[in-house]
Amino acid sequence: MHNGSHISTVKHNVSTTQRWRRNGHTGGILWLTGLSASGKSTLAMALELDLFNRNWQCVVIDGDNLRQGLCADLGFSPDDRAENVRRAGEVARMLAESGIIVIVALISPYQSDRDRVRRSAGSLFHEIWLSAGINVCETRDPKNLYKKARAGEISEFTGISSSYEVPNAAELTIDTGVLDFQESLKVLRGYVERFAFL
């Protein structure tokens, strides 16, 4: 049978530690989870610029962009969301092992899906909850998505017609409903510096 049982791991000639030493920082996954409009993408892209400017190696995996590429075949059912999160997690792990700081901006509403990434990536995984609540996010509604969800024009919308499970053991919580953008970025930046500085 060709069930993959004959597949063996191919080893790299460059170790993760060598890569970290060369880059001057460790790799890791900053997994930003939270409701739509909680600030995930904005903070991810701002942090990317910040790290780039200090010469760090950094990649953003943004949920909306994934949906147009790697995960274009997936919908928004619980199963498809699970697979979406699994794929993002596998890519993030691979990159973090390559010495890169990976910033993932993804609603990732279910605890079990986030926990699976944590099991796969181990200590590379940092769950960061942007905890702005539904009221704040719905008031902001920069892309009118909540409005459309309330009107029934978008189904399975997280916070309205699909659930969001609050992280039960996030490494960091940033209340983006209270802190403004610059304050939130500062907290996030401080966290990265603590774990990634060699």
Residues at the contact surface with a copy of itself, assessed by CB under 8 A: 1-4, 6-14, 18-19, 22, 41, 45-46, 48-49, 52, 55, 57, 59-62, 64-65, 67-70, 72-73, 75-76, 83, 87, 90-91, 93-95, 98, 100, 105, 120, 143, 145, 148, 153-157
Residue 37: C-alpha distances to residues 33, 84, 159 (Å): 11, 19, 11
In 3D space, the residue among 62, 105, 114 whose CA is nearest the CA of residue 85 turns out to be 114
Known catalytic residue: 155? Answer: no
Q: Which of the following is catalytic: 108, 131, 162, 184?
A: 108
Residue placing its CB nearer to a copy of itself in the complex, 152 or 190: 152
State in angstroms the smallest separation of the CB of 90 from a copy of itself: 4
Cα 110 to Cα 106: distance, rounded to the nearest angstrom: 11
Cα 177 to Cα 63: distance, rounded to the nearest angstrom: 21
State in angstroms the smallest separation of the CB of 82 from a copy of itself: 11
Cα 155 to Cα 152: distance, rounded to the nearest angstrom: 6
Residue placing its CB nearer to a copy of itself in the complex, 66 or 172: 66
What is the DSSP-derived secondary structure letter of residue 66? Answer: H
C-beta separation of 125 from 118 below 8 A: yes
Residue placing its CB nearer to a copy of itself in the complex, 64 or 165: 64
Supply the residues annotated as catalytic.
108
